[in-house]
Amino acid sequence: MGCDGGTIPKRHELVKGPRKVEKVDKVAELVARWFYCALSQEKLRRPIVACELGRLYNKDAIIEFLLDKSPDKTPMESASHIKSIKNVTELNLVDNPAWSGDKESIKGDKYDDLQCARFICPVVGLEMNGRHRFCFLRNCGCVFSERALKEIKSEVCHKCGVPFQEEDVIILNGNKEDVEILKKRMEARRLKSKLEKKSKKSKSAGAASQQETSADSPGPSKAKNGKDCVSSSSGENRQIVFTKSSENGNPSVPGKVNKASSTTTKRSIADSEDKSEAYKSIFTTHSSAKRSKEECSNWVTHTAYYF
């Protein structure tokens, strides 16, 4: 038996082994991360923004995502950390002169060079196609290659001259380790901003309460429009006008009174009130004594007439 046109099965066809892990095409992955929006999966077009984790987005897609408040809104992992438009930075990109655009490949009869990127580094000239590490500055949004920042070390932006620190440098489309570091920085930055806002609110509330207490508490009487009202013991309000004389003897504008003049006027008013009260007491005692003498004389005359 045999040699009758049959086939001989092999071992790998009879024995099933472990499945092979499907490998992702690296070129396709780079194109998806560097040429398409991470939220809408559309081609990147200006204005282009980047988040604090280094992902690229179309600004229109971010605005639509933030404005959508419907309950049926699908949660997006790529934009779950974006709470407002302040969490993204608009990028200042430099065009690549060698990039011809999508006009030549409309018919599909030409080869698309995926290595040719739309933007380049303004310092070194490397293309931003994912083969090289790129980063942007959070203060100004300028984009550079990591090689340019390492070779030309400076604390000022090479393009616009804005000062920056090491924490302001955010790597675009970094690996897992880079994303973890950027995430920690983002959380620390947001926590710091919350604490600053709380401290400002507490300071403003304290200042407002102090103003209210100072307005409610009675203070020393101040001269208003050059007039000062003094209430006497009899309940009458006396209005006194003070004028400040200059050194040459000319009278000045009323309403500006020194502290010394105000104290002297208060003392003079108090002395005048004491004198008036003493005068009243003397007058009352004199009048009462006079009345008692008249009554005595009248009593004597009546008694003499009776006897």
Residues facing residue 163 across a β-bridge? 156
Q: Tell me, what's the pLDDT at 24? A: 76
Instruction: List the structure tokens of 83.
Output: 């709470």
Instruction: List the structure tokens of 257.
Output: 């009174």
Q: Tell me, what's the pLDDT at 250? A: 46
Tell me the whole-structure pTM to 2 decimals.
Answer: 0.59
If you count them, how many residues does the chain have? 307
Q: Tell me, what's the pLDDT at 77? A: 82
Q: Tell me, what's the pLDDT at 78? A: 84
Residues in the chain predicted with pLDDT less than 50, given as ranges, are: 220-262, 266, 283, 286, 300, 302-307
Q: Tell me, what's the pLDDT at 272? A: 58
By the 8 A CB rule, do 256 and 225 touch?
Answer: no
User: How far apart (Å, rounded) are the C-alpha atoms in residues 188 and 172?
Assistant: 20
